[in-house]
Chain A
Amino acid sequence: MASSSTSVVVSNKEKENKNTKKVTLKSSDGESFEVDESVAMESQTIKHIIEDGCANNEIPLPNVTSGILSRVIEYCKKHKEAAGESEPSVTSYTSNSTTNPLTEWDTEFVKVDQNTLFDLILAANYLDIKGLLDLTCKTVADMMKGKTPQEIRETFHIKNDYTPEEEAEVRKENQWAFE
């Protein structure tokens, strides 16, 4: 505990000394978020906008609401911080939870309702943040495991649109697979 709090203090000091560059991100509902440029660049989409010299005042993100954007920024900040404190390879999203110290934090981060999770996936895709996209997609994938097709439909409120012939085929497959 003591060592980690020390390193946080150090990095804060570093930030103050460095006079870090900031960018402003504007959500679809008009809210502005000022973040460190390095944090914002966790998003490849934003990174390209900045590198192309198109980020003058604010970067508008018409596809992301403020609620979602604030969460995304939280994710990027956390992962950028962890990258700064140790080897960069640690924060690249690995499926091996024992090598990723942020696994617990990530798990808590995705404990949200379905609509929020869905919006996070869309945002991660639009903003091109690989780690977040992997995390959210994996969360959805985990929600499907161990369920029958009907249970999956109920979880995700999906309509069964098969013809009777297709339904018969599906039934046959699942009868065999769940044998």
Chain B
Amino acid sequence: MTNIRSIIQDMRSRSSRVVQDRFPAGPPSSAAAEVGVEDGMNQSCWANMPQELLREVLVKIEASESAWPLRKNVVACAGVCRSWRHITKEIVKIPELSGILTFPISIKQPGPRDSLLQCFIKRNRSSQTYYLYLSVTNGPANAEDGKFLLAARKCRRPTCTDYIISLHADEMSKGSSTYIGKLRSNFLGTKFTIFDGQPPHAGAKITKSRSTRMVNSKQISPRVPVGNYSVAHISYELNVLGSRGPRRMQCTVDAIPSSAIEPGGVAPTQMDFSLGNVDFFPSMPFLRSKSNHVETFSSGPLASQKDGVLVLKNKAPRWHEQLQCWCLNFHGRVTVASVKNFQLVASPENGPSGPEHEKIILQFGKVGKDLFTMDFRYPISAFQAFAICLSSFDTKIACE
């Protein structure tokens, strides 16, 4: 038996050798051509596929792989080569419209307009790390069924605490390519600032801090400033009942204009991770053709800080006389009473209250020992939502 096998193997290797010898000499015979397809070709027919047909194929993939973990197939297609990347990125819609997160940049983009995107947060007390996942099944948060989105690690400093937020739990340094931003709390844990590692909109100013430095990463040759851009401020206060009542939370999102939630309003949408004005894909600008979206680098500077930015406040719970506790309707998404639980709505600070001020923009609450749900929607992004929730973990206001 071994003799026959070795004979066949020898014949096979011999025939492929013959084909490869013959290939450069001239048009191969039809039999050899079949083998030649597998062995000899450097550039195959697929590399020359007409763009509109390649698009047909990629459209099919995008449509069928709409939920994680299969969604990774769409990301894989965008990683094959330049033309595939260009087409795939054109096909994929932003979360605001599709309700689907696809590329890592999705976590920096506003959530869906029409519904809350359901996520959950797992806390690891021993490593002081928090993990944000996208829920992939409906129903109560199942710790096993999630797509990992972001990780945050708590770093205590002498005068403040930082939560470093990254695309990868093991890469938490600011110079890393996975760094997204951070949440910084003041000494008392009453005020917080969310920093974005990238400019949220044109004209954004870098916050000068000791740690701002030039990074010469091995992968990225032009030296780019890794700065911190302040995008939101969160403050916690006691309400009139002191620590016996629910705390008051206010979040001023400097990066989003208050007009974003009005009919026809838009919120700045980052399209890629290029820092500052450095464009890493000069031949393929990822421009959105829809006219009602603000390009990151084509919009003018936002309105001044105090006037016209989005302000979120927590919805006041009602006192339930029979249950003798404060209650908010979390629609089944929060199951354990906790002072950390909250719902944020847009505050009608800049004008009369309208229907847009009724919508819950962010909801956060406990469902298990170290498990919390986080539901958010337009105009805030997963990153901003996560950072706001982290502040709820940290603040000491009204904690018994």
Which of A141, A147, A148 has the largest number of chain B CB atoms within 10 A? A141
- The 8 Å CB contact of B79, one of A114, A122, A149, is A149
If over half of A's interface residues share one DSSP class (helix, strand or loop), that class is named, otherwise mixed; here it is: helix
- The 8 Å CB contact of A169, one of B43, B77, B280, is B280
A125 within 8 A of B: yes
With A133-B56, A137-B53 as known contacts, state yes or no: A172 contacts B104, CB within 8 Å: yes
Chain A, Cβ-Cβ closest to B47? A158
CA distance A120 to B76 in the complex (A): 25
Contact B177 A173 (CB under 8 A): no
Chain A, Cβ-Cβ closest to B273? A169
Residues of chain B from 203 to 219 with CB closer than 8 A to chain A in the complex: 219
Contact B45 A118 (CB under 8 A): yes
**Mask: chain B, 266-295; 1 = CB below 8 Å from A; 0 = not:** 000000110000001100000000000000
B14 within 8 A of A: no
Contact A157 B79 (CB under 8 A): no
A87 within 8 A of B: no
**Mask: chain A, 76-100; 1 = CB below 8 Å from B; 0 = not:** 0000000000000000000100000
Contact A162 B82 (CB under 8 A): yes
Q: Tell me how many residues of B have a C-beta within 8 Å of chain A.
A: 48
Residues of chain A from 115 to 148 with CB closer than 8 A to chain B in the complex: 115, 118, 121-122, 125, 133, 137-138, 140-141, 144-148
A177 within 8 A of B: yes
- The 8 Å CB contact of B45, one of A115, A138, A149, A179, is A115
Contact B57 A158 (CB under 8 A): no
CA distance A122 to B376 in the complex (A): 44
Contact A152 B34 (CB under 8 A): no
B30 to chain A, nearest CB (A): 10
A159 within 8 A of B: yes
Contact A157 B47 (CB under 8 A): yes
Chain B, Cβ-Cβ closest to A156? B46
Contact B76 A148 (CB under 8 A): yes
Q: Which one of B58-66, B234-242, B320-328 is at the A interface? A: B58-66
* Chain A residues within 8 Å of B297, by CB: none
Contact A144 B77 (CB under 8 A): yes
Contact B76 A140 (CB under 8 A): no
Contact B43 A157 (CB under 8 A): yes
Contact B45 A146 (CB under 8 A): no
With A122-B53, A152-B80 as known contacts, state yes or no: A168 contacts B177, CB within 8 Å: yes
With A122-B53, A159-B47, A164-B221 as known contacts, state yes or no: A176 contacts B280, CB within 8 Å: no
- The 8 Å CB contact of A158, one of B44, B58, B70, is B44
* Chain A residues within 8 Å of B65, by CB: 145
CA distance A165 to B56 in the complex (A): 28
* Chain B residues within 8 Å of A165, by CB: 219-221, 280
Chain B, Cβ-Cβ closest to A121? B53
A52 within 8 A of B: no
A174 within 8 A of B: yes
* Chain A residues within 8 Å of B77, by CB: 144, 149, 152
* Chain B residues within 8 Å of A144, by CB: 57, 61, 73, 76-77
A161 within 8 A of B: yes
A111 to chain B, nearest CB (A): 14
CA distance A95 to B177 in the complex (A): 40
* Chain A residues within 8 Å of B281, by CB: 166
CA distance A179 to B167 in the complex (A): 10
Chain A, Cβ-Cβ closest to B70? A145
CA distance A57 to B47 in the complex (A): 37
CA distance A158 to B280 in the complex (A): 22
Q: List 15 A-B contacts (CB under 8 A).
A: A114-B45, A125-B50, A137-B56, A141-B57, A148-B79, A152-B77, A152-B80, A156-B47, A157-B42, A157-B43, A157-B46, A159-B43, A159-B47, A170-B85, A176-B148
A-binding residues in B (CB < 8 A): 34, 37, 41-47, 49-50, 52-53, 56-58, 60-61, 64-65, 70-73, 75-82, 84-85, 103-104, 148, 167-168, 177-178, 219-221, 272-273, 280-281
The 7 closest A-B pairs by CB, nearest first: A157-B44, A149-B79, A168-B219, A177-B75, A156-B46, A177-B72, A141-B60
